[in-house]
A and B are shown apart, each in its own frame.
Chain A
Amino acid sequence: MYFLGDFTNILLATCRDVLPIILLITGFQLFVLRQPIPHLRRLVVGGAYVVLGLALFLAGLEMSLFPLGKIMAAQLSDPEFLFGINQTATQAGWTAYAWIYLFAALLGFSTTIAEPSLIAVAYKANEASSGTVKPWGLRLTVAVGVSVGVTLGTFRIVTGTPLYMYILAGYLVVLIQTIFAPRNIIALAYDSGGVTSSTVTVPLVTALGLGLCDTIPGCNMALDGFGMIAFACLFPIIAVLGYAQAAHWYASRPKTRVKEKKNEI
């Protein structure tokens, strides 16, 4: 019964989130477009699925993944686990945090695969590119990007280096990649940066960042605890642009080889 009350609250909250969108769309249909909506019944059923599905998803996360992930983040960043009982954090170099880096990398990757907004964008990208962009290809690439970003984020917290240096360097890389990347992937790559920071990834990655910050001496929660999300937004852009560049390069390579052979003959 405890669960039912919880679930009702989440369901109501989801309805409240969706309410402005419903009001906006019905308002526009009634007063501006003044046309009947095609397949109205299907749309309403679909909308109900979205609300119910999202509420179940969030309730399930609250019961399983969030408490577990947060406990694990706390356990892994516990000084006793990291350095043994006799050592203190001040004596340890950044290499002592190997488990944290591994956990951060795997957590970033796996939460991104489970991200519903990324599933939606991957589906849309597959449709818009008429099948050239494979949904799983995009999702795996973005997940690798988030994984690298989150790991670097933990490394930054451990070393205490300033956030803006990383972000600046990252955006310089994006700038250079944008000049050389195939034109049709750029918009999707930029979008994939915003998509990743969503329902599943943010709470777990933030918990890891704050838990780690607690262990590191001299880490300021308000200033250094954040910033993991900025990393998780930046690196998917680099990953998607890089993947497109690599694929483009790979696709154009055999042709030049054939040309070279012809020249030899």
Chain B
Amino acid sequence: MPDKKPSITIRPVLFLALKKLRAAFADLLPIILVISVFQLLVVRQPLPNLGSVIIGGLLVVLGLALFVQGLEMGLFPIGEAMAYALARKGSLFWLLCFAFALGFATTIAEPALIAVANEAAEIAKQGGLIDTGGISKDGYALGLRLCVAFSVGFAILLGVIRILKGWPLHYLILGGYGLVMLITMAAPEEIIGIAYDAGGVTTSTVTVPLVAALGVGLASVIKGRNPMTDGFGLIAFASLMPIIFVMSYGIIIFH
């Protein structure tokens, strides 16, 4: 029966696509409700360009559905495959190289970080902290970016060592935040806000799934490690390290 063949192959694909779209719509439903309820009941002002808002909303749903599908097909498997392959190769050096490079490479090009660094340079210039002592504004912004990228690379590297050794995460993280508190007291005021923000900026939408897959993948191939207890924690490191590094950078530059 040749005419039955397409209906077998197309229907599941269509069904799957509809399921993904419905899931994406469910993810976005709360924000749609919040915005419309506030708009209708509280603000009560007409919406500017309603047409483009509706088209934009449809694009968001479609984009999220595609992203989640790509996550399951591409990002997670590649992260796991790299974790397995590097663990099987058994070379600690290359594993740590990969960990550092992954953190560094994904952060240095991060647009949010570039924006924050330029903004920070502007604030520092207005505060009269740079452009007087020999450091230019661009140099400061680039230094800040390199500092954050290096710190994220170091964070992933440290996180991978932690998974290999099975160190308990909470001592490292809580110790790290203790260090943050101490440095905050010593750091110049202009760098503190930027430093705390840099911690949040680094973990982008593409990096997070890749890093999570790497961690969980490593923890599940290494004997004696539990994917749940040991596999997570890389993102926590990646949010913590930039705070410490950026504040130290501020202390070194400004003192």
B and A form one assembly: yes
A residues sitting closer than 8 Å to B (CB atoms) are 3, 13, 16-21, 23-25, 28, 32-33, 35, 37-39, 42-65, 67-69, 71-72, 75-76, 81, 99, 103, 106-107, 109-111, 113-114, 116-117, 119-121, 123-125, 127-129, 132-133, 164, 167-168, 171, 174-175, 178, 183-184, 186-188, 190-191, 193-195, 197-200, 202, 222-223, 226-227, 229-230, 232-233
Total A-B pairs, Cβ < 8 A: 322
Asked if A76 contacts B200 (CB within 8 A), the reply is no
Which of B35, B56, B193 contacts A227, CB < 8 Å? B193
Asked if A188 contacts B106 (CB within 8 A), the reply is no
- 12 pairs from A and B in contact (CB 8 Å cutoff): A28-B86, A49-B69, A50-B75, A68-B35, A68-B47, A171-B174, A186-B169, A187-B236, A191-B232, A195-B208, A197-B200, A230-B197
Asked if A171 contacts B181 (CB within 8 A), the reply is yes
Q: For residues 37 through 88 of chain B, which have their beta carbon under 8 Å from a beta carbon of chain A?
A: 38-39, 42-43, 45, 47-48, 52-78, 81-82, 85-86
Chain A residues positioned under 8 Å from B200 (CB to CB): 194, 197, 202, 229-230, 232-233
Say whether, besides A60-B56, A76-B42, A190-B236, A32 and B203 are in contact (CB < 8 Å).
Answer: no
Return A139 CB to nearest CB of chain B, in Å: 9
Q: How far is the CA of A21 from the CA of B81 in the complex (A)?
A: 14
The prevalent SS among residues of A at the interface is helix
Say whether, besides A33-B85, A111-B31, A120-B212, A194 and B203 are in contact (CB < 8 Å).
Answer: yes
Q: For residues 180 through 218 of chain B, which have their beta carbon under 8 Å from a beta carbon of chain A?
A: 181, 184, 189-190, 193-194, 196-197, 199-201, 203-210, 212-213, 216
Asked if A57 contacts B67 (CB within 8 A), the reply is yes
Return A127 CB to nearest CB of chain B, in Å: 7
Which of A52, A63, A72, A233 contacts B43, CB < 8 Å? A72
Q: How far is the CA of A202 from the CA of B202 in the complex (A)?
A: 12
Return B47 CB to nearest CB of chain A, in Å: 7
Q: In this complex, what residue of B is CB-closest to A56?
A: B63
Chain A residues positioned under 8 Å from B77 (CB to CB): 39, 42-43, 46
Q: Indicate whether B247 reaches chain A with its CB closer than 8 angstroms.
A: no
